[in-house]
Homo-oligomer: A and B are copies of this chain.
Amino acid sequence: MHGRTSGETVRLEGNARERFYDSRGYGVPDGAALELAPVEAAHLLWREDIEGVDGQDLQAYLASEPGLAVRFLVYKDLRDRGFYLAPAERWFDDPPAGIDFAVFPRGEGPWGDAVEYRVRVVGERDDVPVSALGDATLAVVDEESEITYLGTDHEEVTGTSTAALPTGVPATLLGDRVAVPDAPDELYERAFYGQPLDRNDGGDLQLSLVEAAHLAGDVLALDRSAVLEKGHEVEGERFDRRLRVYRALRERGVVPKTGFKFGADFRTYADVESVDDLGHSELLVRVLPVDHVFAPRDLALDVRLAHGVRKTMVYAVAGDEVEWVAVKRLTP
Protein backbone atom coordinates (compact mmCIF):
# COMPACT_ATOMS: atom_id res chain seq x y z
CA MET A 1 0.00 0.00 0.00
CA HIS A 2 1.26 3.51 -0.86
CA GLY A 3 0.35 6.85 0.68
CA ARG A 4 -0.23 10.03 -1.26
CA THR A 5 0.18 13.51 0.20
CA SER A 6 -2.92 15.62 -0.10
CA GLY A 7 -2.62 19.02 1.57
CA GLU A 8 -1.57 18.50 5.18
CA THR A 9 -2.36 14.81 5.28
CA VAL A 10 -1.41 11.54 3.67
CA ARG A 11 -4.22 9.54 2.09
CA LEU A 12 -4.36 5.76 2.08
CA GLU A 13 -6.95 4.16 -0.18
CA GLY A 14 -8.24 0.58 -0.22
CA ASN A 15 -9.08 -1.09 3.10
CA ALA A 16 -6.86 1.31 5.10
CA ARG A 17 -9.55 2.12 7.65
CA GLU A 18 -10.03 -1.49 8.55
CA ARG A 19 -6.30 -2.24 8.72
CA PHE A 20 -5.00 0.84 10.51
CA TYR A 21 -7.84 2.69 12.21
CA ASP A 22 -10.32 0.20 13.59
CA SER A 23 -7.94 -1.69 15.83
CA ARG A 24 -4.79 0.42 15.80
CA GLY A 25 -5.98 4.01 16.00
CA TYR A 26 -4.14 5.65 13.08
CA GLY A 27 -5.67 8.55 11.17
CA VAL A 28 -9.18 9.78 10.40
CA PRO A 29 -11.43 7.46 8.34
CA ASP A 30 -13.00 8.66 5.15
CA GLY A 31 -15.20 5.77 4.10
CA ALA A 32 -12.87 2.82 3.69
CA ALA A 33 -9.90 5.16 3.16
CA LEU A 34 -7.83 6.92 5.78
CA GLU A 35 -6.33 10.39 6.19
CA LEU A 36 -3.04 10.24 8.12
CA ALA A 37 -0.94 12.89 9.74
CA PRO A 38 2.63 12.82 8.35
CA VAL A 39 3.93 11.39 11.60
CA GLU A 40 1.43 8.52 11.39
CA ALA A 41 2.39 7.85 7.81
CA ALA A 42 6.06 7.80 8.84
CA HIS A 43 5.26 5.29 11.56
CA LEU A 44 3.46 2.97 9.14
CA LEU A 45 6.46 3.30 6.80
CA TRP A 46 8.79 2.37 9.63
CA ARG A 47 6.64 -0.64 10.46
CA GLU A 48 6.69 -1.58 6.78
CA ASP A 49 2.89 -1.60 6.86
CA ILE A 50 3.00 0.68 3.86
CA GLU A 51 5.67 0.78 1.18
CA GLY A 52 6.06 4.48 0.48
CA VAL A 53 4.66 7.98 0.64
CA ASP A 54 4.66 9.77 -2.69
CA GLY A 55 7.18 7.14 -3.75
CA GLN A 56 9.58 7.98 -0.90
CA ASP A 57 11.04 5.54 1.62
CA LEU A 58 11.21 6.34 5.36
CA GLN A 59 14.49 8.32 5.31
CA ALA A 60 13.50 10.36 2.29
CA TYR A 61 10.04 11.05 3.69
CA LEU A 62 11.41 12.11 7.09
CA ALA A 63 13.86 14.44 5.35
CA SER A 64 11.05 16.00 3.31
CA GLU A 65 9.55 18.08 6.12
CA PRO A 66 11.49 20.07 8.77
CA GLY A 67 10.88 18.73 12.28
CA LEU A 68 9.17 15.55 11.08
CA ALA A 69 12.11 13.31 12.09
CA VAL A 70 12.00 14.57 15.68
CA ARG A 71 8.19 14.30 15.95
CA PHE A 72 8.40 10.80 14.49
CA LEU A 73 10.91 9.73 17.16
CA VAL A 74 8.51 10.79 19.91
CA TYR A 75 5.47 9.30 18.20
CA LYS A 76 7.29 6.02 17.77
CA ASP A 77 8.57 5.99 21.34
CA LEU A 78 5.07 6.53 22.77
CA ARG A 79 3.63 3.84 20.50
CA ASP A 80 6.44 1.50 21.63
CA ARG A 81 5.43 2.21 25.21
CA GLY A 82 1.92 1.03 24.42
CA PHE A 83 0.07 4.31 23.97
CA TYR A 84 -2.28 5.48 21.28
CA LEU A 85 -1.89 9.14 20.42
CA ALA A 86 -3.32 11.69 18.03
CA PRO A 87 -1.96 14.93 16.59
CA ALA A 88 -3.18 17.83 18.75
CA GLU A 89 -4.74 19.75 15.86
CA ARG A 90 -6.95 16.77 15.13
CA TRP A 91 -7.91 15.99 18.70
CA PHE A 92 -8.52 19.35 20.34
CA ASP A 93 -11.22 21.69 19.05
CA ASP A 94 -8.97 24.54 20.09
CA PRO A 95 -5.46 23.07 20.16
CA PRO A 96 -3.39 24.46 23.04
CA ALA A 97 -0.40 26.44 21.76
CA GLY A 98 2.71 24.37 21.32
CA ILE A 99 1.10 20.99 22.02
CA ASP A 100 1.88 18.34 19.41
CA PHE A 101 0.13 15.20 20.62
CA ALA A 102 -2.81 14.10 22.72
CA VAL A 103 -1.73 10.84 24.36
CA PHE A 104 -4.57 8.61 25.57
CA PRO A 105 -4.47 6.59 28.78
CA ARG A 106 -3.00 3.10 28.35
CA GLY A 107 -5.63 0.79 26.94
CA GLU A 108 -7.67 3.67 25.56
CA GLY A 109 -7.57 5.36 22.21
CA PRO A 110 -9.07 8.02 19.99
CA TRP A 111 -12.49 6.38 20.49
CA GLY A 112 -12.52 7.48 24.17
CA ASP A 113 -12.53 10.94 25.79
CA ALA A 114 -9.65 10.96 28.22
CA VAL A 115 -6.22 12.44 27.57
CA GLU A 116 -3.33 11.32 29.76
CA TYR A 117 -0.53 13.56 28.45
CA ARG A 118 -0.52 16.69 26.36
CA VAL A 119 2.89 16.30 24.74
CA ARG A 120 5.04 19.08 23.36
CA VAL A 121 7.91 17.81 21.23
CA VAL A 122 11.13 19.74 21.78
CA GLY A 123 14.50 19.29 20.12
CA GLU A 124 17.54 19.67 22.37
CA ARG A 125 18.38 22.91 20.58
CA ASP A 126 14.89 24.44 20.65
CA ASP A 127 13.91 27.29 22.94
CA VAL A 128 11.31 26.58 25.62
CA PRO A 129 9.63 29.70 27.00
CA VAL A 130 8.70 29.35 30.66
CA SER A 131 5.12 30.22 29.65
CA ALA A 132 4.96 26.85 27.85
CA LEU A 133 5.32 24.99 31.14
CA GLY A 134 2.43 24.08 33.40
CA ASP A 135 0.03 22.03 31.28
CA ALA A 136 2.37 20.25 28.94
CA THR A 137 4.52 17.15 29.07
CA LEU A 138 7.75 17.96 27.30
CA ALA A 139 9.28 15.23 25.20
CA VAL A 140 12.84 16.42 24.68
CA VAL A 141 14.72 14.69 21.91
CA ASP A 142 18.44 15.03 22.51
CA GLU A 143 21.12 15.11 19.84
CA GLU A 144 21.51 11.32 20.03
CA SER A 145 17.75 10.88 19.61
CA GLU A 146 17.13 9.76 23.19
CA ILE A 147 13.94 11.14 24.68
CA THR A 148 13.53 12.67 28.13
CA TYR A 149 9.98 13.28 29.33
CA LEU A 150 9.40 16.18 31.68
CA GLY A 151 6.03 16.63 33.34
CA THR A 152 5.14 20.24 34.16
CA ASP A 153 2.40 21.24 36.60
CA HIS A 154 1.14 24.32 38.36
CA GLU A 155 2.12 23.79 41.97
CA GLU A 156 0.41 24.79 45.20
CA VAL A 157 3.12 25.99 47.54
CA THR A 158 2.01 26.06 51.17
CA GLY A 159 3.36 25.39 54.62
CA THR A 160 2.85 25.90 58.31
CA SER A 161 6.00 27.78 59.26
CA THR A 162 5.03 30.82 61.27
CA ALA A 163 6.83 32.26 64.26
CA ALA A 164 6.26 35.43 66.24
CA LEU A 165 9.22 37.76 65.90
CA PRO A 166 10.60 40.58 68.03
CA THR A 167 10.91 44.07 66.54
CA GLY A 168 13.61 46.70 66.44
CA VAL A 169 16.58 44.30 66.51
CA PRO A 170 19.82 46.20 65.74
CA ALA A 171 21.58 45.13 62.53
CA THR A 172 24.45 46.34 60.34
CA LEU A 173 24.83 46.22 56.57
CA LEU A 174 28.19 44.53 55.90
CA GLY A 175 28.91 44.61 52.18
CA ASP A 176 26.41 42.28 50.49
CA ARG A 177 25.19 40.72 53.76
CA VAL A 178 23.84 41.89 57.08
CA ALA A 179 25.21 41.22 60.57
CA VAL A 180 22.92 40.93 63.59
CA PRO A 181 25.09 40.87 66.72
CA ASP A 182 23.60 39.10 69.73
CA ALA A 183 20.42 38.25 67.85
CA PRO A 184 17.32 37.19 69.80
CA ASP A 185 16.84 33.42 69.76
CA GLU A 186 13.53 33.44 67.88
CA LEU A 187 15.14 34.88 64.77
CA TYR A 188 17.27 31.85 63.96
CA GLU A 189 16.08 29.12 66.30
CA ARG A 190 12.36 29.43 65.61
CA ALA A 191 11.96 31.33 62.36
CA PHE A 192 15.16 30.15 60.68
CA TYR A 193 16.40 33.56 59.57
CA GLY A 194 20.12 33.89 58.97
CA GLN A 195 23.08 31.77 59.85
CA PRO A 196 25.08 31.87 63.11
CA LEU A 197 28.58 33.24 62.59
CA ASP A 198 29.72 30.46 64.90
CA ARG A 199 27.89 27.16 64.97
CA ASN A 200 28.61 26.67 68.66
CA ASP A 201 27.34 30.09 69.59
CA GLY A 202 24.05 31.22 68.09
CA GLY A 203 24.55 34.81 69.24
CA ASP A 204 25.80 36.60 66.14
CA LEU A 205 23.81 36.04 62.95
CA GLN A 206 24.62 36.74 59.33
CA LEU A 207 21.56 37.45 57.19
CA SER A 208 21.38 37.42 53.43
CA LEU A 209 20.32 40.65 51.73
CA VAL A 210 16.97 39.17 50.76
CA GLU A 211 16.28 38.03 54.33
CA ALA A 212 17.31 41.44 55.63
CA ALA A 213 15.18 43.29 53.07
CA HIS A 214 12.19 41.20 54.14
CA LEU A 215 12.73 42.07 57.82
CA ALA A 216 14.14 45.60 57.63
CA GLY A 217 12.20 48.47 59.14
CA ASP A 218 10.11 46.23 61.37
CA VAL A 219 11.85 43.22 62.85
CA LEU A 220 15.25 44.75 62.13
CA ALA A 221 16.19 48.30 63.06
CA LEU A 222 17.80 48.74 59.67
CA ASP A 223 17.13 51.21 56.88
CA ARG A 224 15.12 49.22 54.35
CA SER A 225 15.99 51.49 51.43
CA ALA A 226 19.72 51.01 52.08
CA VAL A 227 19.25 47.23 51.89
CA LEU A 228 17.22 47.50 48.68
CA GLU A 229 19.80 49.82 47.19
CA LYS A 230 22.57 47.35 47.99
CA GLY A 231 20.45 44.54 46.55
CA HIS A 232 20.02 46.44 43.28
CA GLU A 233 23.69 47.28 43.22
CA VAL A 234 24.75 43.63 43.39
CA GLU A 235 21.89 41.88 41.55
CA GLY A 236 19.91 44.49 39.62
CA GLU A 237 16.28 43.62 38.85
CA ARG A 238 16.92 40.05 39.83
CA PHE A 239 16.98 41.22 43.42
CA ASP A 240 13.38 42.53 43.19
CA ARG A 241 12.20 39.25 41.71
CA ARG A 242 13.94 37.22 44.35
CA LEU A 243 12.57 39.39 47.14
CA ARG A 244 9.05 39.09 45.72
CA VAL A 245 9.33 35.32 45.65
CA TYR A 246 10.95 35.23 49.07
CA ARG A 247 8.03 37.21 50.52
CA ALA A 248 5.46 35.07 48.73
CA LEU A 249 7.01 31.94 50.21
CA ARG A 250 7.12 33.35 53.74
CA GLU A 251 3.49 34.51 53.35
CA ARG A 252 2.55 30.94 52.45
CA GLY A 253 4.19 29.61 55.61
CA VAL A 254 7.21 28.24 53.77
CA VAL A 255 10.78 29.03 54.84
CA PRO A 256 13.17 29.78 51.98
CA LYS A 257 16.90 29.32 52.57
CA THR A 258 19.65 29.67 50.02
CA GLY A 259 19.67 27.02 47.31
CA PHE A 260 23.25 27.86 46.34
CA LYS A 261 24.68 24.38 46.89
CA PHE A 262 22.00 23.08 44.52
CA GLY A 263 22.48 25.87 42.00
CA ALA A 264 19.01 27.27 42.78
CA ASP A 265 17.75 30.44 44.40
CA PHE A 266 16.13 28.76 47.36
CA ARG A 267 15.54 25.44 49.02
CA THR A 268 12.36 25.49 51.12
CA TYR A 269 11.04 24.02 54.36
CA ALA A 270 7.25 23.82 54.67
CA ASP A 271 6.95 23.06 58.39
CA VAL A 272 9.59 24.68 60.55
CA GLU A 273 8.91 24.71 64.27
CA SER A 274 12.51 24.79 65.41
CA VAL A 275 15.87 24.69 63.71
CA ASP A 276 16.92 21.82 65.99
CA ASP A 277 14.17 19.72 64.51
CA LEU A 278 14.43 20.63 60.88
CA GLY A 279 13.05 18.19 58.34
CA HIS A 280 14.26 17.60 54.81
CA SER A 281 13.77 20.61 52.52
CA GLU A 282 11.12 19.79 49.92
CA LEU A 283 11.52 22.18 47.03
CA LEU A 284 14.27 23.77 45.01
CA VAL A 285 13.05 27.13 43.75
CA ARG A 286 14.50 29.02 40.83
CA VAL A 287 13.20 32.55 40.35
CA LEU A 288 12.57 33.59 36.76
CA PRO A 289 11.24 36.62 34.89
CA VAL A 290 8.02 36.02 32.93
CA ASP A 291 9.84 36.20 29.60
CA HIS A 292 12.46 33.61 30.53
CA VAL A 293 13.38 31.13 27.82
CA PHE A 294 15.01 27.81 28.72
CA ALA A 295 17.54 25.83 26.83
CA PRO A 296 16.17 22.29 27.31
CA ARG A 297 19.57 21.25 28.66
CA ASP A 298 19.20 23.63 31.60
CA LEU A 299 15.80 22.15 32.38
CA ALA A 300 17.31 18.65 32.28
CA LEU A 301 20.11 19.77 34.62
CA ASP A 302 17.75 21.30 37.20
CA VAL A 303 15.33 18.39 37.17
CA ARG A 304 18.03 15.76 37.37
CA LEU A 305 19.71 17.51 40.27
CA ALA A 306 16.47 17.99 42.19
CA HIS A 307 15.60 14.33 41.69
CA GLY A 308 19.02 13.26 42.95
CA VAL A 309 18.56 15.15 46.21
CA ARG A 310 14.92 14.06 46.59
CA LYS A 311 13.43 17.51 46.09
CA THR A 312 10.99 18.92 43.58
CA MET A 313 12.17 21.56 41.13
CA VAL A 314 9.83 24.55 41.14
CA TYR A 315 10.15 27.59 38.92
CA ALA A 316 8.79 30.76 40.50
CA VAL A 317 7.73 33.02 37.67
CA ALA A 318 7.77 36.51 39.12
CA GLY A 319 5.10 38.45 37.26
CA ASP A 320 2.41 40.60 38.91
CA GLU A 321 1.58 37.47 40.83
CA VAL A 322 4.11 34.74 41.47
CA GLU A 323 3.28 31.58 39.49
CA TRP A 324 4.72 28.25 40.63
CA VAL A 325 5.52 25.54 38.12
CA ALA A 326 6.89 22.16 39.14
CA VAL A 327 8.89 20.13 36.63
CA LYS A 328 9.60 16.44 37.15
CA ARG A 329 11.11 13.67 35.16
CA LEU A 330 8.43 11.27 34.05
CA THR A 331 8.32 7.82 32.53
CA PRO A 332 5.15 7.43 30.46
* A residues adjacent to B (C-beta < 8 A): 46, 59-60, 62-63, 66-70, 73, 76, 80, 123-125, 140, 142-146, 148, 172-177, 179, 181, 194-195, 197-198, 206-211, 234-235, 257-258, 260-264, 296-298, 300-302, 304-305, 308-309
Contacts and interface: CB of A to CB of B under 8 A. Distances in A.
B172 A260 contact: no
Contacts of A181: 59
Nearest to A257: B144
A262 B328 CA distance: 14
Contacts of A140: 260
Contact of A69 (B70, B174, B235): B174
Contact of A179 (B62, B263, B301, B302): B62
Contacts of A264: 301
A218 B308 CA distance: 41
Nearest to A181: B59
Nearest to A196: B145
Contacts of A304: 261-263, 305, 309
Contacts of A308: 305, 308-309
Nearest to A235: B125
Contacts of A73: 206
A195 B144 contact: yes
A143 B66 contact: no
Contacts of A66: 175
Contact of A260 (B148, B208, B262): B148
Contacts of A207: 144
A31 to B, nearest CB: 33
Contacts of A70: 175
Contacts of A209: 143
